[in-house]
Amino acid sequence: MAKDIITAGIDVGSISAKAALLQHDRIVATHVILTGYNSQNAGRQVFDLVLQQAGLDAGKVAKIVATGYGRNSIAFAHKAVTEITCHAAGAYFLDRRVRTIIDIGGQDSKAIALDDSGKVKDFAMNDKCAAGTGRFLEVMARALEVDLDAFGAMSLTAGQAASISSLCTVFAESEVISLIARGEQRPNIIAGIHASIASRVVSMAKRVGVRAPVMMTGGVSKNIGVVKALEEKLGANLIVSDRAQVTGAIGAAIIAVGL
């Protein structure tokens, strides 16, 4: 494709919908909205908003690739591609050193191993259970009556992480309620929740082989408590881009270049 060609990636997740516009090797614009109950509408809306942000009309976009939970509902996309492939492409675009990706989204978590050319070598995915995902954190925030956005900072003030032994969201919620009843401090409980997520995700990552550098993608990467807990369990620092939440959309836009 010519260097002036613009492509788009649309990543419709269970919680948020993301869009990215790419021109040659430059990210033109990105946008994020809540998905709501209608994936198709969210995909169209986030695409319209990213175009508006960039000052472009849809006719300027040559190719569109959709990814994420709602990718097959985006009828105007030229192709639908799995999140695994798109996160790999996006992460490698953001930092070519990356060899392992940990992606924690709204309803699943993934560990992706890359080869030296940025292609997917192996992956593992938890999509059968909410534990270790954004939904898990939402449930825990409701149980604790704490704003989810405050979770990261609060967990860093913990004296000692409380023990959360259950890997099931329902049972873990019961554990949290019991800890509250016993007078456990909220920061300690939140730190325990983050440690529980980290244990589950790192165990999954080790199945595909963790090779540094490791990048974290997905919306949960905004939670510094989860990032720190993962780093402790991994024994390594994580690369967290300021575009972590839109990595899948960026990857989709990159794949669109080759259509």
What is the pTM for the complete model shown?
Answer: 0.94
Q: How much is the pLDDT for 127? A: 67
Q: Is the pLDDT reported for residue 79 higher than 70?
A: yes
- Reported as a pLDDT band with limits 50, 70 and 90, residue 4 is confident
Residue found under tokens 């080869």: 115
pLDDT tens profile 211-253? 999 999 999 999 999 999 999 999 999 999 999 999 999 999 9
Q: Is the pLDDT reported for residue 90 higher than 60?
A: yes
Mean pLDDT, rounded, for 199-209? 94
Considering the domain architecture, whether residues 164 and 213 belong to the same structural domain is answered as yes
The H or E element that residue 114 is part of is: strand 109-114
Considering the domain architecture, whether residues 112 and 72 belong to the same structural domain is answered as no
Domain that holds residue 24: 1-95+246-259
**Residue (of 86, 106, 104, 82) closest to 94 by Cα position:** 86
Number of domains in the chain: 2
Considering the domain architecture, whether residues 190 and 78 belong to the same structural domain is answered as no
Looking at every residue in the chain, the average pLDDT score rounds to 94
**Residue (of 94, 3, 18) closest to 50 by Cα position:** 18
pLDDT tens profile 103-155? 998 888 999 999 999 999 999 998 667 777 888 899 999 999 999 999 999 99
- The widest CA-to-CA distance across the chain, in whole angstroms, is 64
**Residue (of 250, 253, 233, 229) closest to 241 by Cα position:** 250
Considering the domain architecture, whether residues 235 and 250 belong to the same structural domain is answered as no
Considering the domain architecture, whether residues 226 and 254 belong to the same structural domain is answered as no
Write out the two tokens for 247: 């990595």
- Reported as a pLDDT band with limits 50, 70 and 90, residue 172 is confident
Considering the domain architecture, whether residues 75 and 106 belong to the same structural domain is answered as no
- Output the CA–CA distances (angstroms, integers) from residue 85 to 67, 91, 122, 187, 211, in the order listed: 9, 10, 11, 36, 18
Q: Give strand pairing partners of 212.
A: none
Q: How much is the pLDDT for 44? A: 98
Considering the domain architecture, whether residues 193 and 112 belong to the same structural domain is answered as yes
Q: Report the distance separating Cα 249 and Cα 255, nearest Å.
A: 10
Considering the domain architecture, whether residues 87 and 137 belong to the same structural domain is answered as no
Q: At what angle do helices 83-94 and 247-257 cross, to 10 degrees?
A: 90
Q: How much is the pLDDT for 47? A: 98
Q: Is the pLDDT reported for residue 2 higher than 90?
A: no
Considering the domain architecture, whether residues 177 and 258 belong to the same structural domain is answered as no
The CATH number of residue 3's host domain is 3.30.420.40
Q: Report the distance separating Cα 1 and Cα 65, nearest Å.
A: 15
Q: How much is the pLDDT for 1? A: 52
Mean pLDDT, rounded, for 91-107? 95
Mean pLDDT, rounded, for 90-96? 98
State the first-to-last Cα distance of the chain, in angstroms, to the nearest integer.
9
Considering the domain architecture, whether residues 9 and 36 belong to the same structural domain is answered as yes
Q: How much is the pLDDT for 106? A: 87
The tally of CA atoms less than 13 A away on the side-chain side of residue 94 is 28
Considering the domain architecture, whether residues 141 and 218 belong to the same structural domain is answered as yes
Considering the domain architecture, whether residues 91 and 105 belong to the same structural domain is answered as no
Write out the two tokens for 2: 């010519």
